[in-house]
């Protein structure tokens, strides 16, 4: 169940409306790094969370917060569109109208939404939920969430550096801070699940003796001359999960050349394939 008090989570103020920046903000709403993505990701992870109820609570509370972020950004888009290109009373507004066209305003915001935000990215492509990761494995989901918040924070920082508007910087500074918290809370959740040595490899419920352990911790080199790839922490020494030792080895072909057999009759193949 969700509730609203019709107020924004954090103040949204636009000092100088900028239709081009409104288009950029759409990426933070409906882009693959955006708030629709994380809100739906945490929501569906919460709906499928089994076991310790605290993790479901953590996910659902954060999903509700992200819905509030969508509301903030949608308000920011609308405020940035106000005064251009429809308000033509003043010369400055007329200039804004020209800037909106020449500067690349997404006309969908005008033509389809009446100067409002839409569930689309900065190119007007609708968000289609293809980037929602809810595996049913709490550790895998928390790991995916760290990546989601990291790319979201990168986007917010880029938007912060793109605008000179003090009001927009204030809003984005808040969103960047929340991304910092969310990265840390997901890492804290992984720590509570057992950290690297308790969580990995995911799923930790699969017996490792049933996997081909010759390759469990081997860093494979695919250089044509058989030389070793550049070394790193991942190429030698104890594995991060504490369950093996990294080794480096060249990888030769262990299988045979694939032979799929002749094509089926009436399959549309050439005679030479049958």
Instruction: Mark the binding-site residues, compressed into ranges.
Output: 35, 57, 66, 69, 149, 182
Tokens describing residue 24: 């950029």
CA neighbor of 50 nearest in space, from 176, 109, 113, 135: 135
**Binding-site residue ranges for Mn(2+):** 35, 66, 69, 149, 182
Q: Provide DSSP, the chain.
A: -----S--SS----SS--HHHHHHHHHHHHSTTSHHHHHHHHHHHHHT--S-HHHHHHHHHHHHHHHHHHHHHHHHHHHHHTTSSS--SSHHHHHHHHHHHHTT--THHHHTTSS---SB-TTSPBP-STT----S-HHHHHHHHHHHHHHHHHHHHHHHHH---HHHHHHHHHHHHHHHHHHHHHHHHHHHTTHHHHHPSSSTTS-GGGS-TTSTTEEEE--TT-PPPPP-TTTSEE-TTSSSEEEEEE----SPPP---PPPTTSS--GGG-
Q: Cα–Cα distance between 227 and 174 in angstroms, integer?
A: 49
**Binding-site residue ranges for Ca(2+):** 57
Do residues 29 and 74 make contact, with C-beta atoms less than 8 angstroms apart?
yes
């Amino acid at each position: 169940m969700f509730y609203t008090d019709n107020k924004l989570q954090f103040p949204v103020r636009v000092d100088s409306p900028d239709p081009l920046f409104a288009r950029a903000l759409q990426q933070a709403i409906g882009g693959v790094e955006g708030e629709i993505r994380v809100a739906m990701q945490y929501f569906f992870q919460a709906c499928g969370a089994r076991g310790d109820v605290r993790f479901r609570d953590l996910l659902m509370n954060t999903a509700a917060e992200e819905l509030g972020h969508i509301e903030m950004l949608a308000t920011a888009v609308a405020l940035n569109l106000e005064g251009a290109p429809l308000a033509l009373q003043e010369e400055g507004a007329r200039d804004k109208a020209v800037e909106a066209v020449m500067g690349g305003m997404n006309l969908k915001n005008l033509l389809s939404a009446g100067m409002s935000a839409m569930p689309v990215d900065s190119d007007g492509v609708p968000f289609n939920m293809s980037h929602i990761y809810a595996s049913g494995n709490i550790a895998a989901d928390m790991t995916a969430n760290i990546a989601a918040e990291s790319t979201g924070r990168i986007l917010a920082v880029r938007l912060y550096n793109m605008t000179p508007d003090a009001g927009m910087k204030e809003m984005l500074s808040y969103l960047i801070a929340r991304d910092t918290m969310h990265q840390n809370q997901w890492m804290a959740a992984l720590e509570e699940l057992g950290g690297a040595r308790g969580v990995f490899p995911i799923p930790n419920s699969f017996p490792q003796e049933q996997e081909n352990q010759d390759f469990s911790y081997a860093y494979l080199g695919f250089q044509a001359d058989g030389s070793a790839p550049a070394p790193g922490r991942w190429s030698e020494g104890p594995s991060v999960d504490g369950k093996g030792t990294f080794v480096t080895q060249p990888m030769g072909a262990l299988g045979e050349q694939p032979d799929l057999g002749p094509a089926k009759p009436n399959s549309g193949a050439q005679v030479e394939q049958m």
